[in-house]
Chain A
Amino acid sequence: MSEKCGWVRERLPLHQDGELEKCDAAEVDDHLAGCPGCRGEVLALTQAWTMLEAALPPAPLHEKLYENPFRDQPDPIMPFSWWMPSMLGFAAAGVMLMLYIHPMFKAPPVPAEAERLLPHIVLRGDTGLDLPPVPPSNRPGLRAAPTFNESESGLRVVPVIGEPPDARRKYES
């Protein structure tokens, strides 16, 4: 047995499994073509493997394995993953964008009449608004009550004619 035969025989199992590099496989094939001793080795390895497979054939499936083992199992708890915070961030950004662009979420336009009267009116009720100070009562043109359609605007408007005795105290405090 030459040195080359030893090199080839070391690699025969890998060659049979198709796991040799292409260049090594070509070298082994070249050697086998001219070496009856190594071809005998190939045959012996193949026979041994065939005997092993014949002696240990696939066993028929056990009846237990036809049961579904996952039937009564609760869903496993998913662990924290790196993508979870980023998904939450994307969701929040989506909601913000929707609120910004959708007309449904925009404030209704202030009627022109209300804008005109705004410095002279006091909103009554628990609006939670930071109300402007009451304008001076001696301003000309405020003696007549302004007309304002409350049902259209949705605002309840009280025209200030003169200065209510308790208004200044209220806003000053």
Chain B
Amino acid sequence: MDFESLYRKHRGALYQLAVRILGDPDLAADAVQDSFMKAYRSQESFKGDSRPLTWLYRITYNHCLDRLRSRTKGAAGLGDLDPADAEGTRPESAVARDETRRQVHAALSLLSEDDRHLLYLMMEKDLSHRELSLILRCPLPSLRMRVCRARQRLRKELESLLGERS
């Protein structure tokens, strides 16, 4: 397995997931590199029954969960991360977007951690439900129920937050 090309190809996607879960770019970059090293050292465990990306997602996801558990302070994953701030390219509609962001973060904080992580994984458009079930080690029917529940909860929480404001 050519790990260097795998790394070049997938580091971005895995980094997005790690940033969303950990809420810290430095920690997320470390987590991605550590996950790749873990995968490199245990490449015999890859059976080839899924795409390498799915396998890498599973390793990264588990590694991020381990990091979250080992962190002592507060809730993680919903930090004040704003990628646009890091880029220094804030658009003109920044105020409106900040408002949306706050509402979404508030809604996400009302969800369970499992639902939140599932939504982060679902934001990776490349992953099918079957692959999500492999990453989360969850049977496909249960995963589909979790997908429906998480998306409907997000909608309800956002609706109630938007209702309160208006």
Contacts and interface: CB of A to CB of B under 8 A. Distances in A.
Interface in A4-49: 9-14, 17, 19, 44-45, 47-49
B119 A70 contact: no
B44 A79 contact: yes
Interface string B133-152: 00000000000100110011
A59 B32 CA distance: 14
A21 to B, nearest CB: 11
A76 B7 contact: no
A69 interface: yes
Given A55-B100, A57-B83, A76-B43, A13 B147 contact: yes
Contacts of B129: 14, 17, 19
A53 B154 CA distance: 12
Given A13-B152, A19-B129, A73-B40, A59 B4 contact: no
A65 to B, nearest CB: 5
B59 to A, nearest CB: 14
Interface string A47-67: 111011111111111111101
B112 interface: no
Interface in B32-79: 32-33, 36-37, 40-41, 43-44
A55 B104 contact: yes
Interface of A: 9-14, 17, 19, 44-45, 47-49, 51-65, 67-70, 73, 76, 78-79
Interface of B: 3-4, 7, 11-12, 15-16, 19-20, 25-26, 28-30, 32-33, 36-37, 40-41, 43-44, 81, 83-84, 86-87, 97, 100-101, 103-105, 108, 119-120, 122-123, 128-129, 144, 147-148, 151-152, 154-155, 158-159
Given A55-B105, A59-B86, 12 more contacts: A17-B129, A19-B144, A48-B159, A49-B151, A53-B123, A55-B104, A62-B29, A64-B30, A68-B4, A69-B36, A76-B40, A76-B44
8 contacts: A11-B148, A19-B144, A45-B155, A51-B158, A55-B105, A56-B104, A59-B25, A76-B43
